[in-house]
Amino acid sequence: MNESNLNNNQNDEINLFDIINVIIKHKKKYLIGLVGLTLGLIFTYTHQPLYSTLFKITVAHPVMKTEIFLKSANMQSMLNDYQLNEGKLPNFSLHKKSQIFTVMSKNNNVKSLVESKITEILRKELIQLRESAKYMSQNNITFVNKNTNNATIFFSNKDYSTLDIDNVLQSIKINYSQTRYLYPNPIKHGIIGLFIGLFLAFIWMLMSIVFNKIK
């Protein structure tokens, strides 16, 4: 019984030493891990920078509610264009339930970009609204709204045909989240490259052991 235990212990020691010897013998193969790490870092720093920012729009003017603006033809046209061209940067998307936009861009300073784009869309919408009102009966009431004091305001086609667009544009308010840095991510891609390299080195070592046993 003692002899059997002794033999088993010796076999375990031999197996352990064999494994250590194999690892030492094939240590050069684990340089592949470093190669993988290097490739991961190269991939990271050759990848174009990518940032993500959330923002929410409020249009605080009696002639244009936020909900109407978000559902407007020009806004939907912009969102459809970006949805069909997801690789296009900058890229805008809207979560309809929360009414929160996401903008993906190569630049971390997105405020001027967002304000320019939103102003452009609202300007187009207001110009179309003003031009359409010129061809309608001027005395017809086309829109009813309430101001901050809950007083009812009536707008006729005549009001729209003489609309001060710049005044409406000044009512836009945009709130931003903190910009997130998506790429490059050296830690993430470096670790992925390292693990892929080590995995390939381990497979190479196992194949070498199997071929040696066969010989």
Phi and psi torsions of 56, nearest 5°: -130, 140
How many Cα atoms sit within 13 Å of 42 on the Cβ side? 8
> Does this model's pTM top 0.85?
no
Same-domain status, 169 and 132: yes
Handedness of CA 142, 168, 178, 184 (dihedral sign): positive
Q: What is the pLDDT along the chain (215 residues), one digit of tens a residue?
A: 444 444 444 444 445 566 566 566 656 665 666 666 676 666 666 667 889 999 999 998 888 889 989 999 999 999 999 999 988 889 999 999 999 999 999 888 899 999 999 999 999 999 998 888 777 665 554 554 554 455 455 667 777 788 899 999 999 999 999 999 887 666 666 677 667 776 777 777 677 767 766 76
Residue 214: inside a domain: no
Same-domain status, 95 and 196: no
Q: Which domain covers residue 95, as residue numbers?
A: 50-183
Residue 14: inside a domain: no
Domain count, the chain: 2
Residue 195: inside a domain: yes
Same-domain status, 190 and 110: no
Same-domain status, 197 and 160: no
Same-domain status, 73 and 60: yes
